[in-house]
C-alpha cells in the first residue's frame, strides 16, 4: 500500500519505486517504529483525538505485527516503500479502518527522525556495554602484569622501560574516553522530535511533553524544522565510532607487531589466528588486520554523512534517507570489532621473558644514567652529553650500559660510583617512576584502584 496515491494519475515507474524505496534497510528499526507509534496513539487518546477504544485496537494491532515479525510469520517484503508504510498497511489490513487514524498529527518526517533517534540510542547502549566489557578484560590483564617489564617506544625506537600494565593502561584511558563521549552524545540527542509533523508542527492539540516522557526522552525538541532535519547526533555518533575504531586499530597494529617473528612479545591463540594455504609454518593475525582494515569503512560512513548533509536547505530532504545504510553498517561493524577484539585480547599469551629481555637492550636506561649524574650535582645538559658518550662507547663495543666496568664509567665521568649499577637496573628504572600516571608499581596500583571503582560505578 502507498501512503500518498491520491493526487497522482499514473502508477510509479518500477525503477523509480526501487530507487526511492528504503524498506530493504529501514526494516532494521521496525521495533523502534512500532514503539514510537504506540506512544503516539497513547498520547492522541489522552488528548481526546482518538477514543480509548480506537487506541486499544491500534495498539493491539501494532503489537501483533511486532510479534509476527519476530516469530517469522510476517515477512517484511519489498513491496512497501518503507517500514512506516509497511506497518501502517498491515495495521489497516488487520484492524480495518480505525488503523487509518494512526498517522493523525504525524508525518513520516518526524516519524523517521524519531525512529532513527530511538535506534541510535539503543546502539549507543550496546556499544557502551561492549566497551565496558573490553575495559574489564583490560583491567584483569593489567592486574596480573604490574611487574611485566617491556620497552616503551617513541618513533618505534626503544625509549624507556615500562610495564605491560602501564602500556595497556593507555588503552584503558582511550576506551574510557570513548564511553564518556557516548554518554555526552546520548545526553545531547535525547529530545523527542515526534509532533514536529512534516516541518511546521500540527494543528492538533498534541501533548509533546507526554510523548517524550513515554519514550524516555528528557523532553520534546524545540523547533519543528530542526526536529525533522537534524542528523547531528548521527554525525556525532559516527565520529565517536570512528574514534573507537582508531583506538582499536592502533591496538591491533601493536598486536600485529608484537606477534611478528621479530618481536615475539605475544602469541595469539590458535582460535583467533588463521593459516596460509601455501606456507605451512604460518599463523597469521588476520583478525587484528581485519579490524585495522574495517576502520576505513567506519571513517567512510562519517565522511559520507557529513558530505550528504552539507548542502541541504531546511527542512527535510530525501537525501537524508542516505543516512541509514552507512550508519547501520558502521554501527554493526564497530560492535563486531569490539566483540572480536575482546575475545582475541583475552586469549593472548604474553611472552614475559622476551619482553623483559627486549626492555634491557636498546639503552632504555640511558635517561636514568643521566638522572644519576643529576642527582650527584651534574647539570642535566652535561649529564645528557656524558651518557651520550657512554652510549657511543657501548655501541662500538656492542655492549649495554650495565655491561661496562666502573673504570669505563669513570673514564668519562668521575662522578659515577658502584651504585650506578643498581640505579640503572631495569627494576629501578621502572619502579622509581612514581609520579601520577607513571609505570612504577606503587603508582600503578593507585590507578588500578580508581579503575576498579570506575567500572563498578559506571
Catalytic residue among 45, 276, 346, 425: 276
List the one residue from 22, 80, 327, 358 that touches ligand ARG (CB under 6 A): 22
List the one residue from 255, 320, 355, 359 that touches ligand ARG (CB under 6 A): 320
Cell numbers 617513541 label which residue? 154
From the CB of residue 215, how many other CB atoms can be counted at a distance below 10 Å? 21
Nearer to ligand ARG, 311 or 353 (CB): 311
Nearer to ligand ARG, 318 or 349 (CB): 318
134 near ligand ARG, rule: CB under 6 A: no
Could you tell me how many helices (H) and strands (E) the chain has, helices first? Answer: 19, 6
| Cα separation values, 357 from 194, 361, 400, 441, Å | 62, 7, 12, 19
Q: Is the dihedral of CA 30, 35, 40, 41 positive or negative?
A: positive
Nearer to ligand ARG, 109 or 249 (CB): 109
Catalytic residue among 64, 155, 247, 413: 155
Binding residue count for ligand ARG, defined by CB under 6 A: 10
Nearer to ligand ARG, 206 or 315 (CB): 315
Least Å from the CB of residue 115 to ligand ARG: 9
Least Å from the CB of residue 112 to ligand ARG: 4
Residues 113 and 230: beta-carbon distance below 8 Å = yes
Beta strands in 99-225, from DSSP E residues, in sequence order: 149-154, 157-163, 191-192, 219-220
Distance CA 40, CA 12 (A): 30
Binding mask 24-63 for ligand ARG (x = CB under 6 A): --x-------------------------------------
364 near ligand ARG, rule: CB under 6 A: no
Least Å from the CB of residue 116 to ligand ARG: 8
List the one residue from 33, 54, 82, 368 that touches ligand ARG (CB under 6 A): 82
Nearer to ligand ARG, 34 or 390 (CB): 34
Cell numbers 656492542 label which residue? 398
Applying CB under 6 A, which part among 217-225, 318-326, 359-367, 434-442 lies near ligand ARG?
A: 318-326
Residues 315 and 110: beta-carbon distance below 8 Å = no
| Cα separation values, 110 from 181, 212, 229, Å | 26, 13, 9
155 has catalytic annotation = yes
Cell numbers 505485527 label which residue? 65
Residues 92 and 80: beta-carbon distance below 8 Å = no
Residue closest to ligand ARG when measured from CB atoms: 321
80 near ligand ARG, rule: CB under 6 A: no
Nearer to ligand ARG, 313 or 353 (CB): 313
321 near ligand ARG, rule: CB under 6 A: yes
**Closest alpha carbon to 113 in 190, 186, 194:** 194
C-alpha cell recorded at residue 152: 616503551
178 near ligand ARG, rule: CB under 6 A: no
C-alpha cell recorded at residue 205: 492539540
109 near ligand ARG, rule: CB under 6 A: yes
Residues 91 and 38: beta-carbon distance below 8 Å = no
Q: Three-state DSSP class for 335? A: helix
**Closest alpha carbon to 256 in 280, 298, 291:** 291
List the one residue from 28, 35, 101, 108 that touches ligand ARG (CB under 6 A): 108
164 near ligand ARG, rule: CB under 6 A: no
112 near ligand ARG, rule: CB under 6 A: yes
227 near ligand ARG, rule: CB under 6 A: no
C-alpha cell recorded at residue 322: 542516505
* Residues pairing with 158 in the sheet: 153
Nearer to ligand ARG, 234 or 404 (CB): 234
Nearer to ligand ARG, 10 or 318 (CB): 318
DSSP 312: P
Distance CA 228, CA 326 (A): 19
384 has catalytic annotation = no
Chain residues that interact with ligand ARG, rule: CB under 6 A: 22, 26, 82, 108-109, 112, 316, 318, 320-321
Active site residues: 155, 276
Amino acid at each position: 500500500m502507498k501512503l500518498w496515491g491520491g493526487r497522482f494519475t499514473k502508477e510509479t515507474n518500477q525503477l523509480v519505486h526501487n530507487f526511492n524505496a528504503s524498506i530493504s534497510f529501514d526494516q532494521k528499526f521496525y521495533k523502534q517504529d512500532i514503539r514510537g507509534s504506540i506512544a503516539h496513539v497513547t498520547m492522541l487518546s489522552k488528548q481526546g483525538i482518538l477514543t480509548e477504544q480506537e487506541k486499544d485496537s491500534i495498539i493491539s494491532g501494532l503489537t501483533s505485527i511486532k510479534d509476527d515479525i519476530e516469530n517469522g510469520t510476517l515477512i517484511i517484503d519489498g513491496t512497501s516503500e518503507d517500514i512506516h508504510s509497511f506497518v501502517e498497511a498491515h495495521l489497516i489490513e488487520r484492524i480495518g479502518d480505525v488503523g487509518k487514524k494512526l498517522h493523525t498529527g504525524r508525518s513520516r518526517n518526524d516519524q523517521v527522525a524519531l525512529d532513527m533517534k530511538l535506534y541510535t540510542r539503543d546502539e549507543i547502549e550496546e556499544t557502551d556495554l561492549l566497551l565496558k566489557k573490553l575495559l574489564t578484560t583490560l583491567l584483569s590483564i593489567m592486574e596480573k602484569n604490574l611487574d611485566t617489564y617491556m620497552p616503551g617506544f617513541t618513533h618505534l625506537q626503544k625509549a624507556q622501560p615500562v610495564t605491560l600494565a602501564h602500556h595497556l593502561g593507555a588503552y584503558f584511558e582511550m576506551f574510557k574516553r570513548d564511553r564518556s563521549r557516548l554518554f555526552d552524545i546520548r545526553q545531547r540527542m535525547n529530545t523527542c522530535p515526534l509532533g514536529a509533523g512534516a516541518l511546521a508542527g500540527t494543528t492538533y492539540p498534541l501533548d509533546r511533553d507526554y510523548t517524550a516522557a513515554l519514550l524516555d526522552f528528557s523532553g520534546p525538541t524545540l523547533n519543528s524544522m530542526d526536529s525533522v532535519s537534524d542528523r547531528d547526533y548521527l554525525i556525532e555518533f559516527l565520529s565517536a565510532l570512528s574514534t573507537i575504531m582508531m583506538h582499536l586499530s592502533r591496538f591491533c597494529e601493536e598486536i600485529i607487531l608484537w606477534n611478528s617473528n621479530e618481536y615475539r612479545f605475544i602469541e595469539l591463540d590458535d582460535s583467533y589466528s588463521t593459516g596460509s594455504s601455501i606456507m605451512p609454518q604460518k599463523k597469521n593475525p588476520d583478525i587484528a588486520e581485519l579490524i585495522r582494515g574495517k576502520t576505513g569503512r567506519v571513517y567512510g560512513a562519517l565522511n559520507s554523512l557529513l558530505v550528504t548533509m552539507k548542502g541541504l536547505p531546511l527542512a527535510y530532504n530525501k537525501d537524508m534517507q542516505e543516512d541509514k545504510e552507512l550508519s547501520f553498517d558502521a554501527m554493526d561493524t564497530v560492535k563486531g570489532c569490539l566483540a572480536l577484539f575482546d575475545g582475541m585480547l583475552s586469549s593472548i599469551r604474553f611472552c614475559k621473558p622476551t619482553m623483559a629481555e627486549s626492555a634491557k637492550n636498546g639503552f632504555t636506561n640511558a635517561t636514568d644514567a643521566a638522572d644519576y649524574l643529576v642527582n650527584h650535582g651534574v647539570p642535566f645538559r652535561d649529564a645528557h652529553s656524558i651518557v651520550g658518550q657512554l652510549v657511543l662507547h657501548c655501541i662500538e663495543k656492542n655492549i649495554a650500559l650495565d655491561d661496562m666496568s666502573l673504570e669505563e664509567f669513570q673514564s668519562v665521568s668521575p662522578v659515577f660510583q658502584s651504585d650506578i649499577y643498581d640505579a640503572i637496573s631495569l627494576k629501578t628504572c621502572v619502579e622509581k617512576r612514581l609520579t601520577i600516571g607513571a609505570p612504577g608499581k606503587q603508582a600503578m596500583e593507585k590507578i588500578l584502584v580508581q579503575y576498579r571503582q570506575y567500572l563498578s560505578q559506571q
